[in-house]
Every structure is written in structure tokens, then in C-alpha cells.
Structure 1
Amino acid sequence: MTTRILPAVADADAARSVTTLLSQLPDAEPAAPVADSTQLLDTLARLAGESLDELPEVVLVHERIGPVPALDLVREVALRFPAVGVVLITSDAGPGLFAAAMDSGARGLVTLPLHYEELVSRVQVAAQWSVGVRRHLGGGGEASSGPGGTVVTVTGAKGGVGATVTAVHLALAARASGRTTALVDMDLQAGDVASYLDVQFRRSIADLATITDISPRVLQDALFTHSTGVGLLLAPGDGERAEEVTDRAARQILSALRHRYEVVIADCGTQMNGANAAAVELADTALLVTTPDVVSVRAAKRIVRMWDRLQIRKAEETTTVVNRHTRVTEIQPALVQKVTGTRITRTSVPANFKELQAVVDAGRLHDLDAKSTVKQALWTLAGELGLVKGVGPAPEKSGRGTLVLRRRGHG
């Protein structure tokens, strides 16, 4: 059997060492290393979207990978791609790390400096486990990008541009189409999802922050099921509790939600913190909302540049929607695309606050009239993003380079 191996190694010297040893492994087909966690998850998601057979049998995760910490990345890969055997490369061979790695879903550890015999043994065990799982799943069946599905973050370029209204209606549209949907308020200090949907609930995302193993029962206790069927995970009522939700907690919470729901929408507000950054980094789609004015577009550009500097997300991997669009404004979507370097959605949301005012004031955004041009645009946007059942996402105009992993003999 040929074993396909995908290494995730950020350090150039370590990558060369890993590649050299992998090339000596019997019946191995190593791919070129990916340099960060984002590239690894994107590559696996693309391959899984094609077929279970396209996924590598083994993924090697180096301890210095980033920006997602190695153990968190192991957990994310294990949750989203259960047919892939993950092996952690680490300089710490202690029992504490071994137990933590196994709890995260790793199939083995390889210690640094690398030794041929140990690497062969761990890769073979992980590969055999992967083949067994695939046989159990039915061989060449389709593999989803995760047990639950799609995570979309919605971030406002600045306050007042309509990020929460957008997030709420993306969730409502997905649920109305028949998809199980969760809406997470990750505007941790000033979240308004509860106010927009007329909800009073004492549980919040902060109640999950210190839980290391989020079971379905624990998750259900923290969620409020709205009358529309959308599961709501609300921001804490006391803003100071926002600091309890760390980047690691955010990744675990979103992974648990992804495991349970087909669509997860996270309203990230406008203030960036560790939790929001983690959400944007692991999201399948990072949606940035701006209005067609100079201040908002400049703010959008600042956010995109910050995400790029912090290795959270590249501009070309970010999707921007223009809210309150009119044909007479000087700033049109094409200009926003040019300024920010992001992909612009085909759908723009028209400027018509009069349609929204009554339902916003009543705290019942879900009662917005179906004839509303704003609602129609937002639900069309949900279809464009692939959140509506039966409607696939629009093809990307541009994006990061992709890595091809195929068996020998395949075209």
C-alpha cells in the first residue's frame, strides 16, 4: 500500500529534515510540506470535498507549527477529518504531552531529533489506522470538511456597519433551508444577538470557556434554541467575562459546534481579540462587512492588513460584502475590492433602514418581512456563500495556491 503523507512544518530547516527522511520511507508518497495551520486545514478541506480517497493517510504536525498551537491543530484535524491519522513531531517525550496528544486525537508521537526507525513505525501505525477507518466508512465515499460542516465568521469593518444583522440573517436563511444552524455571538463585550432576537438566557459562551472536553450534553445546556430553530450561543451578559474566552477556548467551542451543526455563524463584532482571531483563522469563510464610505473602507483595509500581519488570514482569502449599497454612491464594490485586496461578493445589501427599523426596535429581527429588499439580499448572500441547502458556494475569483495529493497512477 502506498501511504500519502502531508507534513505541516513551519521551520525551513525542520521541513528539509522531515522531507529527507520521508523520502526514504518504503511505499511512501510524501507531499511538499505546508507552512502553517491555515494552509493545512484548507488543503485537507479541499481534498475532502473531492473524495475521501483524496485525503492523505497521515498528517505530520510539527510542534512549532502556527498560528494555531500544535495540540489544538491536532484536535482540529482529528475532529474535521477523522479518516486521517495525525502524528505529532515534538521534542518533549514526557508522559504529560503524550497523554495530551492522545486526548487531542493524535495516533502517535515522533520525538526530535528525528530517527528513521521511529518515524517509520509511527507512520505505519497511523496509516493502518487510517485505512481501517476508511474501510469502515465505506471506502471511496464522500468526506465532509468536518462532522458538522461550515463555519462562517462575520466581522464588521467598524461599528455600525451591520455585521450583526448580516450574521443573524445568514443563520436564519441557512436554518430556513433545512440546515441545522448555530449562531455564536463572539462580540464578547458588546454582543447584541440576544437583543436582536428577543432572547433572555443566563447561559453564555463564557460558561464553556474552562471546559476542556465539551460533550454534546454540556454544549446543549449552554445553547438557547430560538423559535426559528437556530441554536444560539450568546455573549456573556457581563462584559468583563469576555477575557475568560481565550483563543484556545474559542477553537474548542467552534470545533464542538461544527461537530453538531451543519452551519455555524460567528458574529465577531468589530474589536479583535484572541478568541475572535482564532475564529477567523479556522473559519471556512471569513466575511468582512463594510459600508460604501471612506471611513469604513479604510477600516476594512486596516483589518485585512492586521489579519495578514498576524498570520490570521490573507486578504485574498477574505470575502467582503458591501452593506447599504446604492448605485449613486462614489464608492462601488469594485473599488472596495481594489482597496482591500479581498474577494467581493456578487451580492450587495441595499441601503433601506426603514425596512429594518420596526423589527430592530422591537428586538425581533427574525420577523423582517419576506418582501424586504434587505432580507432578500441577505438571504441571497447566504446562497452565494453556500449556506442554503441545495445552493453551492459561488466559485472563488482568486485564492491561495492549492496542493495536489494524488495516488501514483492517477491523472
Structure 2
Amino acid sequence: MIRVLVAGKYQDAISKVTTLAQSLPQEIQILDTAMDEQAAMELIDSKLPDVVVIALDTGDTEMIQVARKIYVYKPRIITCVYGHNMDSNLYSQLLNSGVRSAGEYPTDPQAFLVSLKSLLEVESTRAGYLSNTHSALLTSSTVIGFYSPKAGAGTTTCAVNTAVGLARRGKKVILVDLDLEFGDAHTYLDLKPRKSIADLCSEFNRDTFSISDIESYCGLHTSGVYILSAPKSPEYAERVTAEQVGYILSTLKVYFEYIIVDMPAGLSEKHANLLKYINRIYLVTPLQLSSVMAAKQAIGVLGILGRKESINVIANRTARMDLISLRDLHKILNCRVVAAIPSDYRACISAASRGMPIIVSMPHNAIAKAFNNIAIYTLSKDTTLDIWDMSASEIAKAYQKLEAKGPGKTAAVEEKKAVPLFRRHGRRQVNGGTA
């Protein structure tokens, strides 16, 4: 059974396709129809079709944008287009938009079926080859936002070290610094990127981004972590729109297993827009009353936005003398606490000053072990861990269980030479930013 979604601006055009399919109910299933771009993309996400058929009417080219977005954001889905009196200019547009097949409306149901089967056969062969050659294309990805309502809580340190921890376990990871005014995540990795997300958005002023576009603006750390840096100066922040961030994240999800987002402090409309794309939120808070109360207020707003279940609290800079315990933190925030990072000011400052993540420079330090635990928890995709009432030994055992049963086993903890996602001759230096 071939699962088909039909998209078109006019109902008459859509009916030409659905009528053909209805004569072959055992072979073709029409999942749904869409009459605009937004509806088409939403139905693709919810219905998961094998093929999207775009039905054009005379002079109607607006739906071609749907084909381009499918090609960029949903590369596993086949797109074919049917229309009337299609000229060479239209064929050229369709080819540039990633359409697999285009032509006049078929009149024979069997010919229509044979055409779809042929497209699927070719795609299945290609997908199998890509799988065997470890293609960069992915069927699933996780976007993780590191967030604190108050600045200075340690979100960047947590984001950077978690990203490195995941990469050292053989995962494809990119760190996106969305603290657009004062982001400095690249300094924690000793990178000096010549371009940033603001340059990407201003130089490619459009609503789609290819992975090649994005990769040429990224830095690459020796651990294998890619980083898309924040603007070099606060005044460039306005170059980046919420819509462009969404398009960038959607493209990255096809190629990276984990997208780590270093979110800005505060809570505003831009946070609400960003949260649409984030699967898991790591809320970082020190055990200080002002920070904890700010976290409580933020959780209240996130709850209103329907995101409370995706919140995972990380207690940062914990010490024995803290007046607020993990038990108190859990009671105040009413959220699961998944990690506690001990306080070691000297070690953190040393690592940050040298541009070396503590998970690399001091692997036996208690802080590094805590970041490794966060990486293990992330890989496990567990949603039940809550350490607020556990002793130190119980916490260690809990993470060991997660690592033993999940995909969090270390695949490559040794430092390795990073290679670009797409090989290019003379494109850029690994640690020197981008060309």
C-alpha cells in the first residue's frame, strides 16, 4: 500500500489525483489533502506519507515552494508534480526544487500506480545504500535547550560540556548559540569563528537553508562538535528572526542526532517561539534563593505553554553548605531533578580561560563526571529519573543503570580528529572558524 498526500491550491486539481487513486483502493491510500503550504507541512509531519503529489492548475506555481521545503526538510519523502501545459521553465523550477517526477496528469490509474512504484523502488534502493554507507541523513533527532531565567547560572558551561560528552560517544552533535546578544559559547571551545548565525541569516535572506549553507558558517571542535556561533556584537542580533531560527533547526534535524541550543536568559516571546522546536529543556539553576524562585516563576510560565513535562532541572554549583537542598529544590519547583553539578570555582575558571571543556581537560574531576552523567541521561531518553531523594552512591548507580541499558555506552571517549560533515577542498580550518 502506497501512502499518498495530495497538495494543491485548487480542489479541482486535487480531485484529478484522488479520483485516480480511488480506483485502486488496494494499492494506493490517500492519507489526506492540503490546500496551502502550512497545512501540507503539518500533514507531512502527522501522516508520514511515502509520496506527496502536488497538483498544479494553469499558472499556479505557489505550491512549488512546498516541494522545495520537502526536499530540504524531509529528504526521505518523494515529491511528484502533475499539471497542464507544463513548459521548460516550469520543469526547470521543479528540478531545482527537488521534485523526483513531473508531467501531465495521468489518465490511466495503472500507469499512475506503476509510476509511483517505480519512484518508491528507486528511493528504497537509495535509502538502503545510504544506510549501509553511514549517511548523514537521519530519521530522528533531538533538540535540547539549556535554559535559565537568570543570567550567570552556568547554562553555557552545561551546554558545551554536554555537547562534547555526546560527541565523544560517537554522536553527531551541533551546538547552536542563541544567546544572540551576548553569547560566547565558542570561547569555551577555543574557537574563533569568522562568521555567525547573524551572517548566515543576513546573507541568505530566505525561508529555507540547505545543510551546505549552514555548515559553511559553523566552527568545528576537535571533539567533533559543530558550533553555530552567536553574533559578534549585540546590534547584529536583530538580523536573526524567529522564523529563520526555525528553518535552521528544521534543517539541522535531518543531519544531526543532537542539536544543543544555548538559550538566552529571561522569558519573552522569543523564548516561546524557540520552545516550539525544542524536545527537551534542561533548566539550570544554582541553589540560591533568588535563582530558585526565578526558576519557579519560569516553570509556571512554561507550564502554561504546555512544556512542563519536557523540563529537566539541573542543580548547578552545589555544595554541602547550601541552605537549599535537592529535596527543597524538588519541593519548590515540583519538577524532576536529573543532575547535580558540584561547585569547583577554580576548575571551572581554569577550563573556561583555556577554552577547554572541563569534561576534556579534567576528566576525573567531579564536575566532569556530572557532565558525563548528563550525557548518559540524554542518550537514554529516560523520562523517569529524579535524584532529589538519592544519596551520592544511589545517584551513581542510577546513571550506571541508564548507561548499561541504553545507547549511552561510550563509543569513542578518546579524542579524535574531527572531520567536516561535508568534505570540501580548502574550505576552512578545523579550529579556525569558517572560510
Deviations 1:349-389 (A, max 9, x none): 33525365423652635135223333322322222222xxx
Does the aligned pair in 1 maintain the 2:161–2:358 contact within 8 Å?
Answer: no
Alpha-carbon separation, structure 2, partners of 1:116 and 1:305 = 50
Residue 367 of structure 1 aligns with an amino acid whose one-letter code is I
Does the aligned pair in 1 maintain the 2:171–2:257 contact within 8 Å?
Answer: yes
Aligned residues: 351
Matched, 1:370 2:363: yes
How do 1:2-401 residues align onto structure 2 when only pairs under 5 Å count?
A: 2-5=1-4, 24=22, 26=24, 27-31=27-31, 40-41=44-45, 44=48, 56-59=49-52, 75=68, 77-79=70-72, 81-86=74-79, 103-106=96-99, 128-138=118-128, 147-148=137-138, 150-160=141-151, 161-209=153-201, 210-211=203-204, 218-270=213-265, 280-283=275-278, 285-291=279-285, 293-306=292-305, 308=306, 314-316=307-309, 318-324=310-316, 327-332=325-330, 335-337=333-335, 344=336, 347-352=338-343, 354=345, 357-359=348-350, 362=353, 364=355, 366-368=357-359, 369-386=362-379, 392-394=380-382
Alpha-carbon separation, structure 2, partners of 1:171 and 1:382 = 8
SS of match in other structure, 1:287: strand
Does the aligned pair in 1 maintain the 2:295–2:333 contact within 8 Å?
Answer: no
> Structure 1 residues 60, 395: closer, same or farther in 2, change over 3 A?
farther
Does the aligned pair in 2 maintain the 1:153–1:280 contact within 8 Å?
Answer: no
Does the aligned pair in 2 maintain the 1:58–1:123 contact within 8 Å?
Answer: no
Does the aligned pair in 2 maintain the 1:22–1:30 contact within 8 Å?
Answer: no
Alpha-carbon separation, structure 2, partners of 1:323 and 1:191 = 21
Alpha-carbon separation, structure 2, partners of 1:170 and 1:220 = 21
TM-score (norm 2): 0.61
Post-superposition offset of 1:193: 0.5
Does the aligned pair in 2 maintain the 1:322–1:333 contact within 8 Å?
Answer: no
Deviations 1:186-218 (A, max 9, x none): 221221202333333331112211325756665
SS of match in other structure, 1:320: strand
> Structure 1 residues 133, 277: closer, same or farther in 2, change over 3 A?
farther
SS of match in other structure, 1:5: strand
Alpha-carbon separation, structure 1, partners of 2:238 and 2:113 = 39
SS of match in other structure, 1:264: strand
Deviations 1:139-186 (A, max 9, x none): 997999971563423141402343222211121111212334321212
- The structure that has the greater radius of gyration is 2
TM-score (norm 1): 0.64
> Structure 1 residues 144, 159: closer, same or farther in 2, change over 3 A?
farther
SS of match in other structure, 1:182: strand
Deviations 1:107-148 (A, max 9, x none): 5799xxxx9979999898566423321133339979999715
Does the aligned pair in 1 maintain the 2:167–2:224 contact within 8 Å?
Answer: yes
Residue 128 of structure 2 aligns with an amino acid whose one-letter code is G
Alpha-carbon separation, structure 2, partners of 1:22 and 1:73 = 22
Instruction: Identify the residue that residue 66 of structure 1 maps to in structure 2.
Output: none
> Structure 1 residues 174, 122: closer, same or farther in 2, change over 3 A?
farther
> Structure 1 residues 136, 231: closer, same or farther in 2, change over 3 A?
closer
Unaligned runs of 5+ in 2: 56-61, 319-323, 386-435
Does the aligned pair in 1 maintain the 2:143–2:277 contact within 8 Å?
Answer: no
Does the aligned pair in 2 maintain the 1:250–1:278 contact within 8 Å?
Answer: no
SS of match in other structure, 1:269: coil
Alpha-carbon separation, structure 1, partners of 2:270 and 2:97 = 19
Post-superposition offset of 1:41: 3.4
Post-superposition offset of 1:234: 0.7
Residue 246 of structure 1 aligns with an amino acid whose one-letter code is T
Deviations 1:13-59 (A, max 9, x none): 9xxx9999798352323447897956853775xxxxxxxxxxx4224
